[in-house]
C-alpha cells in the first residue's frame, strides 16, 4: 500500500497577506461590526455577479431565511426543494411554519429533478429553492418556466455556486433572490458569512432592515458624526448582519476569486485526465451552456463493480493520508425529516441510490497538481485491489 508522507486535507482556505492586513486595519480602526467595509463589500459583490442589490449577512442560512421572510411565507405554505442538500435549505422553511416539500435529484448533476418538482406543485406552493449542487447550475430556464406557470417565487441556494454562470449570466443575477455562502470551506470565504442578491428595490430595503432587528437606521448610520442617534423599529427583525471583520476578508477574497477559480479548473482537468478511463468511477458532468463553480468534485462509485462499499473506500483513502468527505446525506434519510415529514427512501430513488456511492474528493486552490496525482493513484490502487 502506497501512503503519502503528509496528510492531504479535504480543504484548506487560501488566505493571503492582503486579507490579513485588511483585518488588522479593521481591528485598529475601532469599527468592528457592520459598517463601511461591509457596505463596500456589498457594492463590489453586486457588481461582480451582476445584481442590482447585494445584502451581506452572517450565513447563507440567514440569506435563505430573510428571503422567505420578505416573501411572507408562513404557516399553510409549501416550498419545493431538493432532498440532495444541506439541512439548512429545508430548516429555514420549517422555521417560518411552512412545509418543505422535498423532491428527488437528477442522477448525473445531483440537482433538482424538475419533472418531480412540477409534480410536487399544489395550490399551497409559494416558492421553489433550486440548489446548485457542487456548483453546477440548475436548469434555470426550466425553474423559471415552472415558477411563471404557477406564480412561484424563486430563491436560489447558491452556497456552492460562486462564480458559476448559466447561459452567460452569473448565478446571483437571475432569480428573485439568490443566497450565497462564505463559510470557511467555500470557494471564497469570510470565515462565516453570506450574501443575498436581488434586483427588486423594495425587497432589498426590507432585507437590509430585517437583517438588523428591523431598525430604521443601522449602527453605522446612527454613530456616524453626521448621523442621528434616533431610530425606529419598523419590523421585528433578526440579528443576521455581517461584521466589518468578515467583510475585510471578503473584499480581498472576491478580488482573488477569479485566480482561485482558474486554479480549480486546472485541478478539475487533471482529475478528468487521470480518472476518465476508470470504469468503476462515474465522474461529474457539465451540462451545455453552464459554467460550474467546481466547488466540489464528486465521484460516484459503480458499486456493482467493486467488492467493497463507499465507506470502506473512504477509510482506505484515509489510511493513505488522503481526506475526503460525503456531500450530502440526502435529507429524507435523516431521522427528523424522515419522521416528521413521513418520507420513504423509495420516494427518492436517485438520491437514495447515490447516498451510499458518492465521494467528494479534495479540491481547493492551494492543492498542487501532484496532490491530485496522489489522490488518483490511491483511488486506482484501492479499485485494483477490490475490483470484481
**Which residues have a Cβ under 8 Å from the Cβ of 151 and sit 6 or more positions away?**
none
Q: Are 1 and 380 in contact (CB under 8 A)?
A: no
Place of cell 405554505: 77
Q: Are 60 and 181 in contact (CB under 8 A)?
A: yes
Distance CA 188, CA 14 (A): 8
Cis (ω within 30 of 0) for the bond into 26? no
Distance CA 307, CA 317 (A): 16
C-alpha cell at 168: 452567460
Kindly report the length of the chain.
Answer: 388
Sheet holding 281-282, edge to edge: 281-282, 297-301, 358-361
Q: Are 282 and 306 in contact (CB under 8 A)?
A: no
Judged by phi (left if over 0) then psi (alpha if -120 to 50, else beta), residue 227 lies in beta
Q: Are 128 and 79 in contact (CB under 8 A)?
A: yes
DSSP string, 116-127: HHHHT--TTEEE
Residues noted as catalytic: 186
C-alpha cell at 372: 491530485
Q: Are 242 and 34 in contact (CB under 8 A)?
A: yes
Angle in degrees, CA 231, 238, 84, rounded to 5: 155
Angle in degrees, CA 73, 215, 46, rounded to 5: 70
Give the residue from 302, 272, 277 showing the smallest Cα distance to 387. 302
Distance CA 317, CA 4 (A): 10
Amino acid at each position: 500500500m502506497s501512503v503519502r508522507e503528509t496528510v492531504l486535507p479535504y480543504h484548506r482556505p487560501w488566505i493571503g497577506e492582503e486579507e490579513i492586513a485588511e483585518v488588522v486595519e479593521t481591528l485598529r480602526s475601532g469599527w468592528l461590526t457592520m459598517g463601511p467595509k461591509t457596505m463596500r463589500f456589498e457594492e463590489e459583490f453586486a457588481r461582480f455577479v451582476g445584481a442590482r442589490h447585494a445584502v451581506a449577512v452572517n450565513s447563507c442560512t440567514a440569506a435563505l431565511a430573510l428571503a422567505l421572510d420578505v416573501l411572507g411565507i408562513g404557516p399553510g405554505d409549501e416550498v419545493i426543494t431538493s432532498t440532495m442538500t444541506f439541512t439548512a435549505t429545508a430548516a429555514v422553511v420549517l422555521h417560518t411554519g411552512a412545509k418543505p416539500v422535498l423532491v428527488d435529484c437528477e442522477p448525473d448533476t445531483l440537482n433538482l429533478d424538475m419533472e418531480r418538482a412540477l409534480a410536487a406543485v399544489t395550490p399551497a406552493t409559494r416558492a421553489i429553492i433550486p440548489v446548485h449542487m457542487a456548483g453546477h447550475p440548475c436548469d434555470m430556464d426550466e425553474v423559471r418556466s415552472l415558477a411563471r406557470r404557477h406564480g412561484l417565487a424563486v430563491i436560489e441556494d447558491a452556497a456552492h455556486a460562486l462564480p458559476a454562470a448559466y447561459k452567460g449570466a452569473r448565478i446571483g443575477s437571475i432569480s428573485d433572490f439568490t443566497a450565497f455562502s462564505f463559510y470557511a470551506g467555500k470557494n471564497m470565504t469570510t470565515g462565516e458569512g453570506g450574501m443575498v442578491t436581488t434586483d427588486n428595490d423594495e425587497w432589498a430595503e426590507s432585507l437590509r432592515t430585517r437583517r438588523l432587528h428591523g431598525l430604521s437606521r443601522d449602527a453605522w448610520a446612527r454613530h456616524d458624526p453626521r448621523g442621528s442617534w434616533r431610530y425606529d423599529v419598523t419590523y421585528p427583525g433578526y440579528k443576521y448582519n455581517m461584521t466589518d471583520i468578515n467583510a475585510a476578508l471578503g473584499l480581498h477574497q472576491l478580488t482573488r476569486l477569479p485566480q482561485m477559480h482558474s486554479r480549480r479548473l486546472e485541478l478539475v482537468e487533471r482529475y478528468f485526465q487521470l480518472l476518465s478511463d476508470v470504469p468503476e468511477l462515474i465522474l461529474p458532468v457539465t451540462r451545455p451552456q453552464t459554467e460550474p463553480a467546481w466547488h466540489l468534485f464528486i465521484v460516484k462509485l459503480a458499486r456493482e463493480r467493486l467488492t467493497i462499499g463507499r465507506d470502506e473506500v473512504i477509510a482506505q483513502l484515509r489510511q493513505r493520508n488522503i481526506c475526503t468527505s460525503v456531500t450530502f446525506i440526502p435529507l429524507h434519510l435523516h431521522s427528523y425529516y424522515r419522521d416528521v415529514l413521513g418520507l420513504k427512501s423509495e420516494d427518492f430513488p436517485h438520491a437514495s441510490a447515490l447516498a451510499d456511492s458518492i465521494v467528494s474528493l479534495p479540491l481547493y486552490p492551494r492543492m498542487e497538481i501532484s496532490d491530485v496525482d496522489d489522490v488518483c493513484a490511491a483511488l486506482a490502487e484501492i479499485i485494483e485491489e477490490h475490483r470484481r
